[in-house]
Amino acid sequence: MIKTIYILMSFLSISFSQEDSSKIEQNFPNNVIDSTNNFFVENDLFETLLSEAKMFYAEAIISDLISDTLNAMYGFDNVFKALAQLEEISENDELDKLKYQQMLTAVIEYYDNKVVSIDHSKTGFSTAVFKEKVDNYIYSQNLEDLVNVEETVEFIEGHVPITYNKKVQSVISYYKKQGKSYIQHWLNREQKFKEIMLPILKEEGVPLELFYIPMIESGLRTDAKSFASAVGPWQFIESTGKAYGLKKTFYIDERRDFEKSTRSAARYLKHLYDIFDDWYLAFAAYNGGETRINRHLNCKQCGYPKGELSFWDLHRLPKETQNYVPSLMAIIFISKNPEKYGFNVNPDPAYKWEIKEITKSVKIDDIEKCSGINKKTLLEYNPEILREYIPVEKGNTYKFRMPLDYNPKFDSLFALIEETDSDEVVFKKHRVRKGESLWSIAIKYGSTITAICEVNKLNRNKPIRIGKVITIPTGSYKSPPKKIYYTVKKGDTLSEIAVKYRTSVSKIKRWNGLRNNLIYPGKKLVIHR
């Protein structure tokens, strides 16, 4: 417990001396903020989100130290989501940028080096953590120290220009040393994904060099997840994935599908190239957003030279976006000649499959029994499946990738399998074990405490009996909406109220028509549960 308190106090005490703050304020450009009012609104939002992020981080550490893995993972997931929002808000404020970076560094340091209950190398966040470490390394380097590095650019018609310069050299240096184990895994996966992705890129009429984007985005991991909840080998956020035809439901997430996501990424990148007429700017927009790149290209206050700007001219982009193209160039150089850079590639076995058209809703367990292929392998070939269940609407089919070494009697055996009712997936049975709470059980199954109590007629304020079998509603279950009316007390803040009712400040403001975070004693707030 003493260790816990020490860690939390150390983190939560992140602050700035008056001297540091003054130094930042002196160098703070007056043109960054449009108006005093906007500044205070944004600043208030930043501090609110920062407090929430610290609270999630504290909960994650405590859960980790007592080996409550599920709650620890949930806590870190929320921390990373909050940090993604903080990065956006802090873009135009140097002091907020510093606070955000200190917070991010502290979280990653703990997650990567001190966490005890989570095997971070097996989580979807592992590549995101590595990318952040690469970005911080490059950002801290004095490129003037790199001697004998002359810039060269290889131009081949129909291909992306390949640039070698000091920044690319710096990334290669990191990949060869600190990042070697990561890059080795990427190179081992490369060939089997090339066989899948290159034909799709060729069909879509884009340069084949685009293949290296999912290498630096995800390490070619279908389960990769960014701090901003981008998912899959090409790291689509949900809205962009939907815009380019990738379906996401409770059961399926096509952002993880290595074929469909590749086709969508090719079309999205082609769209970005049509806008910027420059592949490097298109890559930067893929990472940092089309709007952000346009804003920087047209920023009169940024001090950029007049006339046409290239990616290498945009020095005020977030560090991740600044390092995006150099990272891409670095992996291209290493991939083309791995031995030169100290890598010995041992290619992973290629994916070989046959498409089976599934005409009824079934569990993966049923396919495993009929095919003789273990569940883990089946899900590796079909990574878009989230719940070990394939929902098939009447009259439709699901194209399932079946490894070629399946049982030749599969079709006849599968025909005997009865269709699985969705309720068998939506509702799970769970026997309560020692140390479990309604909260930890809800997290485990992706449910809510309210829904569990409602279905099982439980009192959320009373402990649950060890050994009791309860029904867990998941998936498509919809709990009837309930309203709570909360009367604001002296000293209350929206952030504290949000934590108490496990919601967010933004939702409370939306439910109650609040324009800012100011509340006063006696005010009645509507809380939806």
Per residue in 439-462, pLDDT (tens digit) is 888 877 777 787 788 778 888 778
Mean pLDDT confidence for 116-133:
76
Per residue in 304-353, pLDDT (tens digit) is 554 478 898 888 888 889 899 999 999 999 999 999 999 999 999 999 99
Q: Read off the pLDDT band of 40 (50, 70, 90).
A: very low
Per residue in 58-90, pLDDT (tens digit) is 888 888 888 777 678 778 888 888 887 787 777
Q: What is the pLDDT of residue 371?
A: 96
Q: Are 456 and 321 found together in one domain? A: no
Cα 4–chain centre separation: 27
Domain's final residue, options 384, 403, 419:
419
Q: What is the pLDDT of residue 444?
A: 78
Residue 124 lies in a domain: no
Q: Residue 14 and residue 479: Cα distance in Å, rounded?
A: 40
Residue 230 lies in a domain: yes
Residue 130 lies in a domain: no
3-state secondary structure of 516: coil
Domain's final residue, options 402, 419, 436:
419
Which amino acid is located at 114 in the chain? K
Tokens in use for 3? Answer: 């260790």
Residue 502 lies in a domain: yes
Per residue in 365-384, pLDDT (tens digit) is 999 999 999 999 999 999 99
Q: Residue 239 and residue 168: Cα distance in Å, rounded?
A: 32
- DSSP labels, 74-100: HHHHHHHHHHHHHHHHGGG-HHHHHHH
Residue 132 lies in a domain: no
Q: Residue 282 and residue 476: Cα distance in Å, rounded?
A: 38
The total domain count for the chain is 5
Residue 357 lies in a domain: yes
Q: Are 163 and 286 found together in one domain? A: yes
**CA quadruple 410, 411, 412, 414: dihedral positive or negative?**
positive
Cα 417–chain centre separation: 37
Q: Residue 151 and residue 148: Cα distance in Å, rounded?
A: 10
The model's pTM is: 0.70
Element (H, E) at 401: strand 398-403
